[in-house]
C-alpha cells in the first residue's frame, strides 16, 4: 500500500513509452533524418535537431538521470530504485578508481545514478571514508585499494567491484523481501555467471581468476561452474542443458558455439519478461521496476537505431538486435 500514490504516476509515465509499432516505423525509416522526424512526435522531440545524433547519447543519459532522481525522491523505498541503478554506481566506482590510480581525469565517463554524485564518490575513493556511502560500498573501495597496492593490473579493479555488485544485489533483494524482485536478481546473477564462465573457457582463464569473477549469489552453485575451468566449451554447454536455463539460452547455441551477442539479447528480454506481471499489480514496487526497465530497454533500442541508421545497416540487421519492448 505504500506505493498507492506513486504507482498511478508510473502508469501515467508508461503512456510516454514508445510502442512496438513506433519501433517498427523507426526500423523502416529510410535514413537517420527520417528516424529523427518520427522521434519529433515523441517525448524525445527536444533532442531532435540538425546533427542530433552527435548529442543523442548525452541527451539519453540526461533523461535517465532525471528519471532516477525523480524516482529516488518519490519512491517510499529508495533502495528499490537503487537495486536498478546500482549497476551505474559500480560503473562509476570502476571509472573513478582507475582515474585515481592513473592520475587521469575520467569524469566524462561518470553516469548519474540518482544517488551518489561524482564528487562524493571521488572523495570516498581518495580517503576510503564517507558519511554518505553505505558500508558495503566502502568495503568494496577498501578491498580495491588493498589490491592496487599489490598490483597494477587494472582489470582486477573490475573483478572486485563486479563481485561486490552481485553480492549487494542479492543482499538487498533479500532485505526488501519482494519475491518477484528477488527472482529477477537471481536470474540476472545466474545469466551473468553463465556468460562469464563461457568467456573464461574460451580465454583459458585460470581457476583462481574464475573463482574471483564468478558470483556465489545465484541459484547455480559457483563450484558447479568451476569444474569447467580446464574443460572445453562443448562440455560446458552440455552442462547448461541440465539447468533451468536450458530452453532460454538454446537459441544462442549453434553447432557447439555460443553467440554472445544473442545471449545478451536473450538475457535482456528474459529479465524484461519477469516484470510483465506489473501490468496487473496496483500495489508494491513492481510497476516502478518495470517502468525503469522499460526505459532502459527503450534507450538501448534508440541507441541501436541511431547507430544503425547512421552507418546504413539494413533493416533486418537492426530488427534482429532490437530488444523486446514493454507492452503496456
* pTM as predicted: 0.86
Q: Is the pLDDT of residue 328 over 60?
A: no
User: What is the spatial distance between Cα 305 and Cα 144, in angstroms, rounded to a whole number?
Assistant: 37
User: What does the pLDDT read at residue 141?
Assistant: 97
- Looking at every residue in the chain, the average pLDDT score rounds to 91
Cell digits of residue 219: 541459484
Residue 71 contacts residue 288 (beta carbons within 8 Å): yes
Q: Is the pLDDT of residue 180 over 90?
A: no
Over residues 273-300, the mean pLDDT reads 80
User: What is the spatial distance between Cα 25 and Cα 31, in angstroms, rounded to a whole number?
Assistant: 12
Q: Which residues contact 168 (CB under 8 A, 6 or more apart)?
A: 86, 136
Q: What is the DSSP string of 230-267?
A: TS-HHHHHHHHTTSTTHHHHGGGEETTEE-HHHHHHHH
Q: Is the pLDDT of residue 268 over 60?
A: yes
Residue 297 contacts residue 324 (beta carbons within 8 Å): yes
User: What does the pLDDT read at residue 277?
Assistant: 62
Higher pLDDT pick, 269 / 34: 34
Q: 305: helix, coil or strand?
A: helix
Q: Is the pLDDT of residue 200 over 60?
A: yes
pLDDT, tens digit (0-9, with 9 covering 90-100), for 103-130: 999 999 999 999 999 999 999 999 999 9
User: What is the spatial distance between Cα 136 and Cα 286, in angstroms, rounded to a whole number?
Assistant: 25
pLDDT, tens digit (0-9, with 9 covering 90-100), for 204-213: 999 999 999 9
Residue 325 contacts residue 46 (beta carbons within 8 Å): no
pLDDT tier for residue 281 given thresholds of 50, 70 and 90? low
User: What is the spatial distance between Cα 309 and Cα 304, in angstroms, rounded to a whole number?
Assistant: 8
Q: Is the pLDDT of residue 278 over 60?
A: no
Q: Is the pLDDT of residue 40 over 60?
A: yes
Amino acid at each position: 500500500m505504500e506505493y498507492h500514490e506513486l504507482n498511478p504516476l508510473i502508469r501515467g509515465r508508461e503512456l510516454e513509452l514508445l510502442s512496438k509499432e513506433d519501433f517498427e516505423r523507426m526500423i523502416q525509416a529510410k535514413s537517420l533524418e527520417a528516424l529523427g522526424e518520427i522521434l519529433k512526435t515523441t517525448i524525445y522531440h527536444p533532442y531532435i535537431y540538425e546533427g542530433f545524433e552527435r548529442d543523442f547519447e548525452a541527451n539519453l543519459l540526461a533523461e535517465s538521470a532525471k528519471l532516477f532522481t525523480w524516482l529516488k525522491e518519490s519512491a517510499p523505498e529508495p533502495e528499490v530504485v537503487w537495486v536498478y541503478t546500482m549497476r551505474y554506481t559500480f560503473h562509476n566506482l570502476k571509472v573513478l578508481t582507475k582515474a585515481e590510480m592513473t592520475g587521469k581525469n575520467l569524469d566524462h565517463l561518470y553516469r548519474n545514478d540518482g544517488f551518489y554524485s561524482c564528487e562524493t564518490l571521488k572523495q570516498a575513493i581518495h580517503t576510503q571514508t564517507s558519511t554518505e556511502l553505505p558500508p558495503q560500498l566502502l568495503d568494496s573501495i577498501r578491498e580495491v585499494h588493498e589490491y592496487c597496492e599489490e598490483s597494477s593490473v587494472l582489470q582486477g579493479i573490475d573483478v572486485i567491484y563486479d563481485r561486490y555488485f552481485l553480492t549487494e544485489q542479492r543482499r538487498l533483494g533479500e532485505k526488501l523481501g519482494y519475491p518477484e524482485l528477488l527472482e529477477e536478481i537471481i536470474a540476472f546473477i545466474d545469466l551473468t555467471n553463465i556468460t562469464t564462465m563461457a568467456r573464461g573457457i574460451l580465454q583459458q582463464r585460470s581457476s583462481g581468476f574464475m573463482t574471483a569473477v564468478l558470483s556465489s549469489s545465484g541459484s547455480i552453485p559457483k563450484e558447479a561452474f568451476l569444474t569447467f575451468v580446464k574443460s572445453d566449451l562443448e562440455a560446458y554447454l552440455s552442462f547448461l542443458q541440465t539447468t533451468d536455463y536450458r530452453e532460454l539460452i538454446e537459441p544462442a547455441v549453434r553447432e557447439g558455439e555460443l553467440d554472445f551477442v544473442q545471449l545478451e539479447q536473450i538475457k535482456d528480454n528474459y529479465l524484461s519478461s519477469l516484470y510483465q506481471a506489473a501490468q496487473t499489480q496496483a500495489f508494491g514496487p513492481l510497476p516502478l521496476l518495470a517502468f525503469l526497465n522499460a526505459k532502459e530497454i527503450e534507450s538501448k533500442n534508440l541507441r541501436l537505431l541511431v547507430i544503425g541508421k547512421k552507418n546504413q545497416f539494413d533493416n533486418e540487421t537492426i530488427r534482429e538486435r532490437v530488444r523486446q519492448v514493454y507492452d503496456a
